[in-house]
Amino acid sequence: MLSRVADSLYWMSRYFERADNASRVVEATYGLILNPAKFSADERWFRAVSSLARGTTSSDIDPQHALFLLVANPEGVFSIMKCISGARENARQVREEISSEMWEQLNRLFHEVNGADLQPDDDSGAMRVVNLVREGAYRFHGITDTTINHGEGWHFIQLGKYIERACNLSILLDAYFSVDKNADDLDWVGLLSSCAAFEAYCKVCTAELRPERIADFILLQPEFPYSVRYALDRMHHALTSISNRSLSRRTGKIERLIGRLRSAVTYVQIGEVIRGDLHMYLAAIIDQCRELHAAVHEVYIEYPIEVAFES
Amino acid sequence: MASAAPKMEPPDDQSAGAAFRRYELNGSYDEMFRSADVPRKQYRQLYTQLLNLGPDELRRSKQEADQSFFNQGITFTVYGSDKGTERIFPHDLLPRIITAAEWETIERGLTQRITALNLFLKDVYHDAKIIEDGVVPAKIVYTCKHYRREMRGIKVPRDVYVSVVGTDLIRTPEGNFVVLEDNLRVPSGVSYMLTSRRVMKHIFPALFRKCRVRPIEQYSQVLLSALKSLAPEGRTEPTVVLLTPGSYNSAYFEHTYLARQMGIELVEGRDLLVHDNIVYMRTTFGLQRVDVIYRRIDDDYLDPLVFEGHSALGAVGLFNAYRAGNVAFANALGTGVADDKAIYAYVPKIIKYYLDQDPILENVETLLMSDAAQRDHVCQKLDEYVVKAVGESGGYGMLIGPHSTESQRDDFRARILADPRNYIAQPTIYLSTAPCFVDGTIEPRHVDLRPYVIYGDNITIVPGALTRVALRKGSLVVNSSQGGGSKDTWVLQN
């Protein structure tokens, strides 16, 4: 497969996952601010924004406009609309590589979202867009799984989706746990809903909301699609499938990186993590995901030609 | 013009050619009718069918065809819109029919013409004997905008310069096919020929079978084998790619379509790199050598080292790899010198010179504005002539005298006088007309004919063509950029 094509598929998928994640976080946060709590609405909005755009400080954000900012801000790099455009733009470059059903779904969603023509104070309009994206995402995932050959291109799509998910979940956990002293039950429900995990959590751990169990579920649960562990396992599967196809390439570095990442979530107890430095632990996962991204880019997409001529 | 208000149709008129009520013959050769209400033999089946179908049924068929084009994604991108607007290519529902005998002439004529033009290209870029012998003036050749000095002395694989040609033919009022234009650079439109056939088979299956239409579906295989035949020596399993300017190009649909049909990789310039004069494409498996490039990019943009320095569409070093014989281009570079409109005037002589034969397909009479006497004559009678810029295509840079205004003529006169070499003039030819389904009735519209010639081991012309239609009433311009559409073209079995 052409490197450019693989790169576009990967980014299409990453942008789409980013929009999907943002829509869930925004929806959960919007549900939270309607209730009085120790946290003010402003603080909750700030938590949402910082979980979507790592490194934002409270002075960057005007809570009154946070919803608009997250959904439709034409300038921000992380608004839902921007992400949907990014996904579509990448898909457009490789239309022949994805199924027409995938293109149609993505294109339709893009037009619906863009056609909404949101104004900064139109909360219900913004929430309609959020809903469109959330439902559109489930549909897109289903179509992607069922309408294309699960070959190399599909594995790059999977890789993009799960690397984005692993990072997003880690940032989200960090945002919630860094201020957990003031958190009440509703906040924990908010965290679980942001990961589409509330019902699944209740089934596995009952409705008793204990922060440690919640962290365990979102971080280490191997069987839930919106857990870090699950995402890393899928990344590993995608990377192995890709490297199995290219026998002579230098994939050692990639294997080491993904192996280390997986062991970080496979062989730990949640107690150690929580009692230790959770923030550092999550930051390490995010940094290693970045390293992995760079390594994949270097091996498959933009390798130096000197390397290509060795061997 | 039909100025009368539409009348209510009397019921008993249904059978008596109601569908053709507004069909007025205008002195051009009509593809369907010998004279009013008398169809030519090859059109009788279609004629009967049209008489039996009401306008509603035709409209339904038209909608069905449109839908089919849309669903197959047979669209072109409309420039200047960030909303991703895509339109279907305008097409007409009724097929244009060519008899076996007519096709036989076209096939022989084009084979002869392309053979001669290919020999001409080889000669021009090597010994230039034809110039030495005074058949074609040196000045005309070397001042040609598309002459590529860099091609001098380069041996192209199998001496094939033009692998794919789309020649535009028109039919004179006497009924003869003549050549209007040779397209030897990057001819496009073949995807519309192939896809509209698929749609028509679906819409008119019975008629299609009754008419015994020759198939064109083998086009992609023929093209692929011609491309493979250009591979550098020793490359027994050559990698062929299609080089596209990218998804913003208006012909992007065609590029993706052909790449998929041939099962070859669709690459952009940034996917290619050249190392030690070998061309590679960057894949996730590593670099893969490329042997033949079916390029859909103009000469100027192929290699910034040699041509346009700011072009990002091609790849650095492509031309050196080509010169070293490590990669082949289809078509070769510099073929534009042979479809220059001033060279066109010399094609009959070129055929005579290389093949010692008289041309089977005539040229349209062409006056060179670089010739003082001819220029004076034309400038005085601009309203009778069609004036064209020699290096342009797509219907740009053109004056149609009889349809022009005084100020347009003044403008062109000034342009001709400023740069005579850049212009030619031809008498206005009324292209033949063919029945088209327009606004619920059948009316005549002007058409041309573009068959696609493939030069591989030998010359192959799949029995079919793109018939381009000037959809605006009375218009003589068929180019898609100027409001033209297309028709499926049926070549009949003997």
Q: Give B277's contacts in chain A (Cβ within 8 Å).
A: none
Q: B216 phi and psi, to 5 degrees? A: -125, 0
Q: Name the residue among A3, A100, A309 with its Cβ closest to that of B275.
A: A309
C-beta atoms of A1 and B284 within 8 A: yes
Look up tokens 């010994």; give the residue: B127
B481 near B394, Cβ under 8 Å?
yes
Interface list for chain A against chain B, based on CB atoms closer than 8 Å:
1-4, 6, 88, 92-93, 95-96, 100, 107, 110-111, 114, 152, 242, 245-246, 248-249, 300-301, 303, 305, 308-309
Taking the CA of residue A262 and the nearest CA in chain B, the distance in Å comes to 24
**Candidates A92, A96, A241, A305, partner chain B, best to mutate (most B CBs within 10 A):** A96
Q: Are strands B423-427 and B385-389 parallel, antiparallel or unpaired?
A: antiparallel
SS3 call for A236: helix
**B286 — contact with chain A (CB < 8 Å)?**
yes
Q: Name the residue among B246, B247, B283 with its Cβ closest to that of A2.
A: B283
Q: Would you give the DSSP letter of residue B307?
A: S
Taking the CA of residue B334 and the nearest CA in chain A, the distance in Å comes to 29
Cα–Cα distance, A8 to A89 (Å, whole number): 9
End-to-end CA distance of chain B: give it in Å, rounded.
38
C-beta atoms of B285 and A249 within 8 A: yes
A86 residue type, one letter = G
Look up tokens 């347009």; give the residue: B408
Q: Give B256's contacts in chain A (Cβ within 8 Å).
A: 95-96
pLDDT in the model for residue B248: 82
Q: Would you give the DSSP letter of residue B30?
A: B
Taking the CA of residue B70 and the nearest CA in chain A, the distance in Å comes to 12
pLDDT < 50 stretches in chain B:
1-16, 80-83
SS3 call for B494: coil
**B287 — contact with chain A (CB < 8 Å)?**
yes
Helix axes A228-245, A152-177, angle to 10 degrees: 160
Cα–Cα distance, B284 to B272 (Å, whole number): 13
Q: Which residues contact A17 (CB under 8 A, 6 or more apart)?
A: A160, A161, A164, A165, A168
Q: Would you give the DSSP letter of residue A301?
A: I
SS3 call for A297: helix
Q: Give A2's contacts in chain B (Cβ within 8 Å).
A: 265, 267, 271, 281-284
Chain centre to alpha carbon of residue B69: 20
Q: How many Cα atoms occupy the beta-carbon half-sphere of B288 within 13 Å?
A: 19
A29 near A191, Cβ under 8 Å?
no
C-beta atoms of A3 and B284 within 8 A: yes
C-beta atoms of B271 and A152 within 8 A: no
Q: Give A81's contacts in chain B (Cβ within 8 Å).
A: none
Q: Give A248's contacts in chain B (Cβ within 8 Å).
A: 286
Taking the CA atoms of B306, B310, B312 and B316 in sequence, report the sign of the dihedral they define. positive
Nearest residue on chain B to A110, alpha-carbon basis: B83
Cα–Cα distance, A175 to A194 (Å, whole number): 12
pLDDT in the model for residue B21: 81
Q: Give A114's contacts in chain B (Cβ within 8 Å).
A: 83
A63 near A214, Cβ under 8 Å?
no
Nearest 5°: the CA angle A290, A293, A298 is 130
Cα–Cα distance, B487 to B200 (Å, whole number): 10
Q: Give B247's contacts in chain A (Cβ within 8 Å).
A: 92-93, 95
**B260 — contact with chain A (CB < 8 Å)?**
yes
End-to-end CA distance of chain A: give it in Å, rounded.
20
**Taking CB atoms and an 8 Å cut-off, how many pairs form between chains A and B?**
57
C-beta atoms of A4 and B260 within 8 A: no
Q: Name the residue among A4, A100, A246 with its Cβ closest to that of B268.
A: A4
Domain boundaries, chain A: 3-309
pLDDT < 70 stretches in chain A:
54-61, 75-77, 180, 246-249, 310-311
Cα–Cα distance, A74 to B202 (Å, whole number): 45
Helix axes A152-177, A278-296, angle to 10 degrees: 160
pLDDT in the model for residue A53: 73
Cα–Cα distance, A298 to B158 (Å, whole number): 40
Cα–Cα nearest to B492, from B108, B249, B207? B207
C-beta atoms of B284 and A6 within 8 A: yes
Tokens of A304: 């130096």
The secondary structure of B114-143 as a DSSP string is HHHHHHHHHHHTTT-HHHHTTSS-HHHHHT
C-beta atoms of B84 and A1 within 8 A: no
C-beta atoms of A93 and B247 within 8 A: yes
Nearest 5°: the CA angle A32, A36, A38 is 95
Nearest residue on chain A to B268, alpha-carbon basis: A4
Cα–Cα distance, A71 to B84 (Å, whole number): 21
Q: A305 phi and psi, to 5 degrees? A: -70, -20
Look up tokens 């020999």; give the residue: B119
Q: Are strands B433-438 and B441-446 parallel, antiparallel or unpaired?
A: antiparallel
Q: Give B287's contacts in chain A (Cβ within 8 Å).
A: 305, 308-309
Cα–Cα distance, B383 to B106 (Å, whole number): 31
Cα–Cα distance, A262 to A233 (Å, whole number): 7
What chain B holds in terms of domains, given with CATH numbers, is 365-427 (3.30.1490.270)
- Ramachandran assignment for A40, one of left (phi > 0), alpha (psi -120 to 50 degrees), beta (any other): beta
Per-residue pLDDT tens over the stretch A163-220: 999 999 999 999 899 876 778 888 899 999 999 999 999 999 888 889 999 999 999 9
Q: Would you give the DSSP letter of residue A2?
A: B
Q: Give B280's contacts in chain A (Cβ within 8 Å).
A: 308
Q: Would you give the DSSP letter of residue B246?
A: -
How many beta carbons lie within 10 A of that of residue B490, not counting itself? 26
Taking the CA of residue A246 and the nearest CA in chain B, the distance in Å comes to 5
Cα–Cα distance, B157 to B455 (Å, whole number): 12
How many Å is the Cα radius of gyration of chain B? Answer: 23
Q: B282 phi and psi, to 5 degrees? A: -85, 110
**B74 — contact with chain A (CB < 8 Å)?**
no
Tokens of A5: 């094509």
Cα–Cα distance, A78 to A22 (Å, whole number): 9
Cα–Cα distance, B100 to B490 (Å, whole number): 10
- Ramachandran assignment for A258, one of left (phi > 0), alpha (psi -120 to 50 degrees), beta (any other): alpha
**Rounded alpha-carbon distances, angstroms, from residue B313 to A140, B156, B170, B270, B271:** 32, 23, 34, 7, 10
Q: Which residues contact A11 (CB under 8 A, 6 or more apart)?
A: A86, A87, A90, A160
How many beta carbons lie within 10 A of that of residue B481, not counting itself? 11
Q: Which long-range contacts (CB under 8 A, 24 or more apart) does A122-125 make?
A: A122/A68, A123/A30, A123/A67
Q: Give A300's contacts in chain B (Cβ within 8 Å).
A: 284
SS3 call for A134: helix
C-beta atoms of B284 and A4 within 8 A: no
| B residues 300-359 lying closer than 8 A (beta carbon) to A | none
- DSSP bridge partners of B386: B400, B426
Cα–Cα distance, A16 to B170 (Å, whole number): 51
C-beta atoms of A95 and B273 within 8 A: no
Q: Counting beta carbons within 10 angstroms of the beta carbon of residue B320, is it exposed (0 to 12), middle (13 to 18) or buried (19 or more)?
A: middle
Cα–Cα nearest to A92, from B295, B282, B74, B246? B246
Cα–Cα nearest to A222, from A259, A185, A266, A260? A266
The secondary structure of B36-100 as a DSSP string is TTEE-GGGHHHHHHHHHS-HHHHHHHHHHHHHHHHHTT-EEEPSS-TT--EEEPPB-SSPEEE-H
Nearest residue on chain B to A301, alpha-carbon basis: B284
C-beta atoms of A3 and B283 within 8 A: yes
Q: Give A3's contacts in chain B (Cβ within 8 Å).
A: 271, 282-284
